[in-house]
């Protein structure tokens, strides 16, 4: 079993550094282009076949998943709420400058209504465990969010993988007898190719 973990495409809030959290911000045109670029990569890659796509319920993840599913001609399953981004409470919608003006550089250490790391890790692991039990013979594409994916990788691998998760990055995990083996991490090669094509 393979799981391809994908962060949704770019949004206008991503572009200006606003924290989205569970605010339902749609993809922008660049985000749609990014999704098509990844779809092209997955389609041309003869190494893996993918059986279906599942996403969080936020529109930026759902639209990314729909673009991938259509390009690969595979089903888009109903969203799973466990894949939602972290709730950031009072911080949602604010830029880095606005956050620091209100609460200082260590704003993320304050109690501002953010979902706790442990809670995010628990729901991310719950989703992965269910996926492994229900779809043992399938290769699944999962579209989620940077905050959730970062916490999932910490839960699975401690501090071994801690890069910032890029928009439309692809990570591939393979289920072994009891663990998840990392085959590819936070790869955005398809987006670099898009930049080269436009030069």
Which residues have a catalytic role annotated?
Answer: 8, 85
**Whole-angstrom Cα distance, residue 39 to residue 28?**
17
Q: What angle do CA 124, 128, 131 make, to 5 degrees?
A: 140
Alpha helices in 57-142 (DSSP H): 59-72, 96-103, 117-134
Are the C-beta atoms of residues 72 and 65 closer than 8 Å to each other?
no
Q: Residues 6 or more apart from 101 whose CB is under 8 A from it? A: none
Rounded to whole angstroms, the maximal C-alpha distance in the chain is 50
């Amino acid at each position: 079993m393979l799981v391809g973990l994908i962060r949704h495409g770019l949004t206008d809030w991503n572009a200006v550094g606003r924290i989205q959290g569970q605010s339902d911000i749609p993809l922008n045109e660049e985000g749609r282009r990014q999704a098509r670029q990844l779809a092209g990569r997955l389609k041309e890659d003869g190494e893996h076949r993918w059986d279906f796509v599942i996403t969080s319920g936020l529109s930026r993840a759902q639209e990314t998943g729909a673009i991938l599913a259509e390009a690969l001609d595979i089903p888009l399953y109903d969203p799973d709420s466990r894949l939602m981004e972290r709730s950031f409470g009072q911080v949602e919608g604010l830029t880095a400058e606005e956050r620091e003006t209100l609460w200082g550089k260590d704003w993320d250490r304050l109690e501002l209504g953010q979902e706790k790391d442990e809670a995010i890790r628990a729901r991310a692991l719950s989703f992965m465990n269910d996926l492994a039990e229900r779809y043992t013979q399938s290769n699944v594409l999962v579209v989620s969010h940077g905050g959730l994916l970062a916490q999932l990788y910490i839960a699975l691998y401690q501090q071994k993988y801690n890069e910032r998760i890029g928009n439309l990055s692809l990570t591939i995990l393979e289920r072994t007898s009891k663990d998840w083996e990392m085959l590819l991490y936070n790869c955005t090669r398809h987006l670099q190719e898009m930049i080269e094509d436009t030069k």
